[in-house]
Each structure stands twice: as C-alpha cells, then as structure tokens.
Amino acid sequence: MYNIAVVGATGLVGQTMLRLLEEKQIPIANLTLFSSARSAGSQVSFNGENHVVEELTTEKTAGPFDYVLMSAGGETSLTFSPLFEKHGAVVIDNSSAWRMDPEISLVVPEVNPPSSNRKIIANPNCSTIQSVGPLKILLDAFGIERIAYTTYQSVSGSGWKGIEDLKRGERGEDPVNYPHPIYNNVLPQIDVFQEDGYTKEEVKMIEETRKILNLPTLPVTATCVRVPVTSAHAVAINVTLSEETSVKAIQSLFEASPYVTLEDEPEKGIYPMPLQAGGKEGIFVGRIRKDDSLPNTYHVWTVSDNILKGAALNAVQILQQLIS
Ligand SMILES: NC(=O)c1ccc[n+]([C@@H]2O[C@H](COP(=O)([O-])OP(=O)(O)OC[C@H]3O[C@@H](n4cnc5c(N)ncnc54)[C@H](OP(=O)(O)O)[C@@H]3O)[C@@H](O)[C@H]2O)c1
C-alpha cells in the first residue's frame, strides 16, 4: 500500500489520473490531493470517499509520500518536484519542465523504462507519446533515418481552458486561451514561436522523439496544429526507414504488437479517428502507405486520446511499472 499525492487533482489530467488509479486498483494507503489556492477546499470523490483538495505549499511536500503524480504545469513542477524528491518521493511529472534534463528519464513504459537515479520521471508530450509507440516498433524492425510529423491536436490538450474556448466559439464569443477563434478554425500554432519560426510544441516533439528513441542526431521535423476537436490527437507521421520493407510487413508488425491497434482498411472506410479513439486507452494506427518521393519512406496515421495515453494513462502506467 502506497502513500500517493496527486498535484493538479482538479485539472483535466489530474481528474483522469484519479479515475485510472481507481480503475487499475493501485494499492493506496493514503491519498492526498493538491491544487492551487483557487480550488483548495473543493471535494473530489475517490473510491466512494470524499477527499478535500488542499493548496500545495512547501511544507506539505514533506508528506510522507511514496509517489507523487504531478499535473500542474511547468512552473509548479520546477518549484515543488525537487522538494518532493528531497523528502523521498518518486515524482511522475506531466509538464514539460524536466523532459529534456539529461539527468531525468523521459518515459513511455513500452518504449523506454526509467534509466536514471533521479526520483523525478518525466511524462512526454501527448503527441510524442502516441508517435513513439508505433515508431519504436519500426525502429526495432528496420531502423529509422528521418521523421516528419504533422499533428492535428484537440483542444483538451490545453486543459479545461482549451475546451472552454471551443465552447465560447460555438456561442459566437471571442477566445480567451487561444490567439484566434478555434471554433470552425485550425490554428498552426501551439505554444509560443521561437526565433527560428518553430513553435515550442514542435521543438518538444522533435527533441523528445530523439531522447526517447535514443537517437540524438536523428533528423526530425514537425508542424503542430490545433483543430476544433474536443478529445484525441491525430499525428501524420512520415518516416524514412533504414531498410527496404513493404506496407504489408509494417501492417503485420503493428497487428502483432500489443502496444498499437491497427485499423487500416481504407476501402471499407476504416481508419483511426478522434471520435472513435476518444475515451479509449490505445494508440490506433492506419493509412499506411508508401511515400514514393523518398526511398524506404512510409506514411503512418496515428490517433490516441491525449488525456489518456497522451498524459494520465502513461503516467499511471509508469507508476504501475515502478510498483511491479
Ligand atoms: N491536457 C493534455 O492533453 C496534457 C497532455 C500532456 C501533458 N499535459 C500537462 O499536464 C499538466 C496539467 O494539464 P491539464 O490539461 O490537466 O490542465 P488544467 O485542466 O488546466 O489543470 C491544471 C491543474 O493544475 C493545478 N495547479 C495550477 N497551479 C498550481 C499550483 N501552483 N499548485 C498546485 N496546483 C496547481 C490546477 O489547480 P486549480 O484547479 O486550483 O487551478 C489544476 O488542478 C500541464 O503541465 C500540461 O502541460 C496536459
């Protein structure tokens, strides 16, 4: 039985992590729920009992906690994760704060188990997680020379405030979270722009892919786009392999893997879509085609629930891996 804290327990990811802790019957002795001052005092039901959410403060990091599931943004994590760690807890963090720290493991359990002595473990970016799942299968079988991503990311990727902006747009109101209306629109901007014209989200996908696949010099590029979908991200992956293969061979590998679900019968209209993948735990792949513009290059379309495998589920799977 473990003492577990969830930081960001009132957030979209935090709420989903709590549901998964229940569903997966994680053995919990004491559960402590933290938020900012804004939601402190609110009540959250867990395993049939009401828990009062507390404001996270420095003193409260002493716990004692065995595991802390952090889902409260980068700044909160930078301040509090090292304090939890100092007091002996293992922190699994959903923010981008620690992902590229060379001392910190960036983990998708089926791809790369934790490999560092630090007790902070980073959960990757949502679009990265659903991409490296199928890519790891291709890497092991054929090797990878290059990756180009285009993403179609749902508004829940921005937490409650993204969903609220979509609803505002439906009502004809101006956005609060996004720089332009997201309703009836597509925004080729996620996070802020850098000097080279890439957004931070695009840089995250590029750098995190290299780190997780342990290919530090791999050519990777990305265009990240916000679409007016509530739940589940789609990523069009264009991947150049090191060896010749075939669409059939790639489909067979995906079919045989427990980590992805192949939905690739385009003639019957069967391919992964957010409406079908939302609320499900898997990574769905389809539309596998040869790209004749480059040697050994293929298109893979992947869809997954960004709050589940893209965030809360991956974090809980890391916890399950550590416990087991
Ligand atoms: N949504 C996704 O698809 C996704 C995917 C991967 C990673 N993430 C990451 O997961 C984290 C949470 O995202 P979300 O989508 O759940 O956002 P959200 O719905 O906006 O929730 C944010 C949570 O953080 C809490 N919080 C904010 N400041 C805090 C502080 N100083 N101390 C303690 N708690 C604080 C909030 O508490 P209050 O209720 O008091 O405001 C709330 O519980 C972010 O770092 C995000 O980048 C999200």
Residue 195 has a pLDDT of 97
Q: What percent of the chain has pLDDT over 70?
A: 100
pLDDT tens digits, residue range 251-289? Answer: 999 999 999 999 999 999 999 999 999 999 999 999 999
pLDDT tens digits along 130-139: 999 999 999 9
- CB of 81 within 6 A of ligand 1: the answer is no
pLDDT for 6: 98
Give pLDDT, residue 25: 96
Q: What CATH architecture does domain 128-306 belong to?
A: 2-Layer Sandwich (3.30)
Rounded Cα–Cα distance for residues 164 and 175 (Å)? 9
**CATH for the 2-124+311-323 domain, from 3.30.70.250, 3.40.50.620, 3.40.50.720, 3.30.70.1450:** 3.40.50.720
Phi and psi of 42, rounded to 5°? -75, 160
Q: What is the pLDDT of residues 201-219, one digit of tens each?
A: 999 999 999 999 999 999 9
Atom 20 (ligand 1): residue with closest C-alpha? 159
Task: Judge if the upstream peptide bond of residue 228 is cis by omega within 30 degrees of 0.
Answer: no
Minimum-distance ligand 1 atom for the alpha carbon of 159: 15
Q: Is 72 in the pocket of ligand 1 (CB under 6 A)?
A: yes
Q: Quick one: which atom of ligand 1 is closest to the CA of 77?
A: 45
Write down the mean pLDDT value for the chain: 97
Whole-prediction pTM: 0.96
Angle of helix 12-23 versus helix 313-323 axis, rounded to 10: 40
pLDDT score of 61: 98
Question: Is the beta carbon of 175 within 6 A of some atom in ligand 1?
Answer: no
**Most ligand 1 atoms within 8 A of CB, residue of 32, 35, 95, 306 to mutate:** 35
Please report the pLDDT score of residue 242 as a whole number. 98
Q: Tell me the mean pLDDT in the region 57-77.
A: 97
Domain boundaries for CATH 3.30.360.10 within the chain: 128-306
Cβ–ligand 1 contact at 304 (below 6 Å)? no
Listed in order, the ranges of the chain carrying CATH 3.40.50.720 are: 2-124+311-323
pLDDT tens-place string over residues 211-254: 999 999 999 999 999 999 999 999 999 999 999 999 999 999 99
